[in-house]
């Protein structure tokens, strides 16, 4: 009796999950976390209008979602001053990255990214046999100059940068990203991941033409809109590139409930402004918690704060382990020197208070080794 005949590529890949979810850790510990501050979610939740729209749509859950995402694409096009043909909607940025890599990367094709940047993108590249070429961060920022230099050297199919950045929370001005687009080598597509841009300072969004064929911009409803569980992402790009997604995407991947929630969230500008203030105040609170413990909070343009634990990655990992044992879920970057930090999501005051109460003990135990 034989099992499935996997491709040689599939046989060469490890069975892995880029992020171990908090639920898995809760099951292993046989108790829930007191503070869920590691999954890079928006703990303040979605707009009440989005919740109401999803509740109303639940009664029609027997129907497939609109495979063209017509209403949401039209609303997004109006929001961004472009045509619906410039917008593709998918199952979060993760899903769209997977489709894009499938469209562009064959075994052996090179892809340039930063060492320590978003691992799910790397997961997709490896899954289609691409070769990842990485450059280091410059301090706590992704390095556009180094990325462009490496792209000029290896002629990659794709060049990835996030602005603002995950996992450090840093950002570049949008004008710098527009300049990067102008310098992309011929034949390379720049992926500009703007998952956090709604929470960033004014001027962070890149002023680029939606029809520029050198770049595709990724956005999400998971962060500023608090809809991570709904899995709604979208991309803005040149119409021929956007049309190509129809070759490979799951046309019924978006549920009616998610479509309704995203459409209502997009229209609720009052909640969006309120969320911007909530996240900013939460970042300030996390910075104060860090200072009270002799640590440094890095400037953040996102819905999380990277906190420098003041030593190396081994020490930060011990801090994370102690926080986990105390019922506080946080994460940390995966490579040095970024891994000297822990990454803590913004969230409600009660969860930040639990983090603040647990951190001194976690640091003390980590220092004891």
> Closest by alpha carbon to 148, among 159, 136, 132?
159
Please tell me the distance from the alpha carbon of residue 200 to that of residue 143, in angstroms, as a whole number. Answer: 18
- Does 7 map to a domain? no
The pLDDT score that the predictor gives to residue 138 is 97
Q: Total domain count for the chain?
A: 2
pLDDT at 15: 86
Domain identity same for 246 and 345: no
52 with 41, same domain: the answer is no
Q: Are residues 185 and 256 in the same domain?
A: yes
Q: Would you give the end-to-end CA distance of the chain in angstroms?
A: 51
Two tokens at 365? 């135990």
Q: Quick one: 304 and 284 in the same domain?
A: yes
Of 267, 301, 319, the domain-final residue: 267
Contacts of 54 by beta carbon, 8 Å cutoff, 6+ apart? 230, 257, 258, 260, 261, 264
Ordered alpha helix ranges (H), 110-208: 119-127, 144-154, 174-182
Does 247 lie in the same domain as 104? yes
Q: In the chain, which stretches have pLDDT less than 50? A: none
Whether residues 196 and 78 share a domain: the answer is yes
Name 268's Cβ contacts closer than 8 Å, sequence gap at least 6. Answer: 47, 49, 50
Residue with tokens 């040689």: 8
Question: How much is the pTM?
Answer: 0.96
| DSSP state at residue 141 | B
Distance CA 283, CA 298 (A): 10
User: Are 221 and 311 within one domain?
Assistant: no
pLDDT for 220 equals: 98
Q: Is 69 exposed, middle or buried (0-12, 13-18, 19+ CB in 10 A)?
A: buried
CB atoms within 10 A of CB 39: 17
CA angle 150, 199, 38 (to 5 degrees): 80
Last residue of a domain, one of 267, 299, 320: 267
- Out of 246, 267, 288, pick the residue that ends a domain: 267
Domain match, 152 and 247 both: yes
Q: Is residue 233 part of a domain?
A: yes
My answer on whether 298 and 248 are in the same domain is no
274 and 263 share a domain?
no
Residue 317 lies in a domain: yes
Q: Are residues 248 and 323 in the same domain?
A: no
DSSP assigned state of 138: B
Angstrom distance (rounded) from CA 302 to CA 194: 10
Assess whether 260 and 286 both reside in one domain: no
Q: Is residue 8 part of a domain?
A: no
Q: Specify the CATH number for the domain of residue 294.
A: 3.90.1150.10
pLDDT digits (tens, 9 = 90+) for 16-29: 777 788 999 999 99
Residue 287 lies in a domain: yes
Residue 284 lies in domain: 19-45+270-368
Cα(190)–Cα(3) distance, integer angstroms: 40
**In-domain check, residue 1:** no
Q: Is 12 a domain residue?
A: no
């Amino acid at each position: 009796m034989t099992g499935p005949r996997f491709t040689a590529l599939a046989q060469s890949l490890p069975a892995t999950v880029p992020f171990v979810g908090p639920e898995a850790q809760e099951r292993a510990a046989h108790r829930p976390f007191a503070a869920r501050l590691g999954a890079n979610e928006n703990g303040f939740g979605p707009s009440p209008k989005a919740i109401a729209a999803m509740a109303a749509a639940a009664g029609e859950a027997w129907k497939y979602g609109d495979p063209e995402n017509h209403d949401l694409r039209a609303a997004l096009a109006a929001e961004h001053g472009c045509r619906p043909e410039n917008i593709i909607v998918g199952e979060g940025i993760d899903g769209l990255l997977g489709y894009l890599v499938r469209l562009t990367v064959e075994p052996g094709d090179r892809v340039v990214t930063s060492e320590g940047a978003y691992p799910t993108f790397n997961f997709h590249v490896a899954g289609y046999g691409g070769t990842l070429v990485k450059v280091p961060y410059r301090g706590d920022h992704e390095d556009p100059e180094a990325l462009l230099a490496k792209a000029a050297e290896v002629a990659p199919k794709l060049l990835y940068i996030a602005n603002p950045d995950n996992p450090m929370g840093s950002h570049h001005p949008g004008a710098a990203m527009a300049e990067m687009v102008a310098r992309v080598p011929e034949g390379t597509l720049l992926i500009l991941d703007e998952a956090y841009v709604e929470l960033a300072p004014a001027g962070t969004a890149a002023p680029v033409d939606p029809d520029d064929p050198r770049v595709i911009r990724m956005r999400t409803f998971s962060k500023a809109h608090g809809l991570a569980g709904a899995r709604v992402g979208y991309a803005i790009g040149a119409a021929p590139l956007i049309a190509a997604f129809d070759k490979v995407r799951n046309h019924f991947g978006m549920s009616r409930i998610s479509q309704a929630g995203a459409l209502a969230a997009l229209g609720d500008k009052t909640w969006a402004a309120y969320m911007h203030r909530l996240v900013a105040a939460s970042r300030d609170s996390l910075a104060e918690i860090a200072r009270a413990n002799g640590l440094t909070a890095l400037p953040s343009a996102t819905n999380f704060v990277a906190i420098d634990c003041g030593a190396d990655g081994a020490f930060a990992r011990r801090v994370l382990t102690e926080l986990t044992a105390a019922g506080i879920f946080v994460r940390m970057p995966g490579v040095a020197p970024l891994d000297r930090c822990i990454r803590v999501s913004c969230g409600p005051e009660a969860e930040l208070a639990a983090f603040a109460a647990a951190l001194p003990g976690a640091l003390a135990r980590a220092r004891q080794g």
